[in-house]
A = this chain, B = another copy of it.
Amino acid sequence: MSEYNRSRLRPAPPWTTTGLWLNTFEGQPLELAALRGRVVVALAFQMLCPGCVQYALPQLSRIRRAFHPSRVAVLGLHTVFEHHAANRPETLAAFSHEYRLDFPIGIDAPDPHGGPMPVTMAAYAMQGTPTLLIIDAVGHLRRQAFGHVEDIVLGADIALLAAEAGGTVLSDPATGGAASMREEACRLP
């Protein structure tokens, strides 16, 4: 069974959030529709989910750094399905500050019928957190992956989707870490 499905071409369901957004201009809500023309890489996460903190959020920051922001938009969606009382907006704000997250983060709206799963999480039929969504420039959901996806694969996927709409994809051809980890390299004298 493929959880990393490249074939489905259905429109990405709109997000239903509480209206409170972090890291946007004056806390204004974002609409997915407003990001058409760009590939959207979104991470559904919970701040108390160890896998989100250990690998998925750092990966999202690497994606944000690698791709040109005019071509690839990076978003977070806080999808709380457990420990609801513990996951208050002010805690999320402090979490975002301490971990230096600088991409917009929406808060998934609670189930109006009182169930544990929030609205957007249910609309996408997610299995848990972290879940990565990739939405192409015309608004189709192209990838949905629960768990970890390797950076190599993700870099390739995002680049190919961004290239569908043309133009330069990567943020800065000169960087990309080539300057780092030099101390273990062997240099010509």
Which residues does A use to contact B, with CB under 8 Å?
Answer: 1-7, 46, 48-55, 59, 62-63, 66-67, 81-83, 85-88, 90-91, 93-95, 97-99, 117, 126-130, 145-160, 163, 169-170, 173-188
Query: Are the CB atoms of A55 and B181 closer together than 8 Å?
Result: yes
Query: Are the CB atoms of A50 and B184 closer together than 8 Å?
Result: yes
Q: Which residues of B contact A126 (CB under 8 A)?
A: 188
Query: Are the CB atoms of A90 and B98 closer together than 8 Å?
Result: no
Query: Are the CB atoms of B149 and A152 closer together than 8 Å?
Result: no
Select which of B4, B5, B87, B186 is within 8 A of A49 by beta carbon.
B186
Q: Could you give 25 example pairs across A and B, Cβ below 8 Å?
A: A3-B178, A4-B174, A4-B176, A4-B178, A5-B173, A6-B173, A46-B186, A48-B94, A49-B185, A51-B184, A54-B184, A62-B152, A66-B150, A83-B90, A85-B90, A87-B94, A88-B88, A128-B188, A149-B177, A149-B178, A150-B176, A150-B177, A152-B154, A153-B177, A157-B159
